[in-house]
Amino acid sequence: MPLPPVIDYATGDWVVVMDCDLQDQPEELIKLYNKATQEGFDVIIARRIARKDGIFKVLASRAFNIFYNFLSSIRIDPTICNFSISSREVMNQYRRLREGSRSHILTLLWCGFNTGYVDVDHAKRFAGKTTYNLRRSIHLAIESITSQSNKPLRISIKAGFLMSGLSFLCHLSYFTQTVVGCSSRWLDQHDRIDLFHRRTVNGKSGGCWSLPG
């Protein structure tokens, strides 16, 4: 189920978001809550000490982090996850953002509240399989990047101008070569006709003269 409708029904002073496959362990919640209440943070995000996921998911996550940090002004820690606790003030602001497709953690960071981090143990999946296949993962990555930064738009505009410029230069080069080639052939033909005319006018006898070439 998407997070925004769920958070709309959360009425507590603190709201916890965690994976339901028990890779985010409930016993770690006390660490997040204590750090938030004792040190005055509005948001606490968990950092996985040792990730217990498959190699494909780990590599895909690392690739996303590299691209995101390059394309966005927000720098993210590759060890953070959705496991987090946020105050009521944060959630009230979060609920005002009604985008249909978004990353929970990136949205929390974008809100700009005082954020802290806690290291937690990451467990293996208790049951079931992830529903995020390659297609959905790529879609989420694109949505996350484009919703947080206009750098991809600027890059695409610059690439468009570059391609247009290169196309113009290619057409100009082809046009120039065509014109020069036609001119050269015309001048060469003109020279041959002139040579034939001069030889004819000079009255050289002894045979028929034909156009050279």
Q: What is the pLDDT of residues 17-69, one digit of tens each?
A: 988 778 888 888 999 999 999 999 999 999 887 776 666 677 777 777 777 77
Output the pLDDT for position 89. Answer: 92
Please give the pLDDT value at position 189: 58
User: What integer pLDDT is reported at residue 181 of this predicted model?
Assistant: 61
Q: What pLDDT, on a 0 to 100 scale, did the predictor assign at position 7?
A: 82
Residue 155 reports pLDDT greater than 80: yes
Residue carrying the six token digits 């394309």:
71
Label each residue of 148-187 as H, E or C: HCCHHHHHHHHHHHHHHHHHHHHHHHHHHHHHHHHHHHHH
Select from 191, 3, 198, 199 the least CA-distant residue to 97: 3
The answer to whether residues 18 and 105 touch, using CB atoms and an 8 Å cutoff, is no
Percent of the chain exceeding pLDDT 90 equals: 16
Average pLDDT, the chain: 76
Mean pLDDT, range 110-131, rounded to an integer: 80
Q: Mean pLDDT, to the nearest integer, of 127-146?
A: 68
Its pTM surpasses 0.85: no
Which amino acid, residue 73?
Answer: S
Separation of alpha carbons 117 and 39, rounded Å: 11
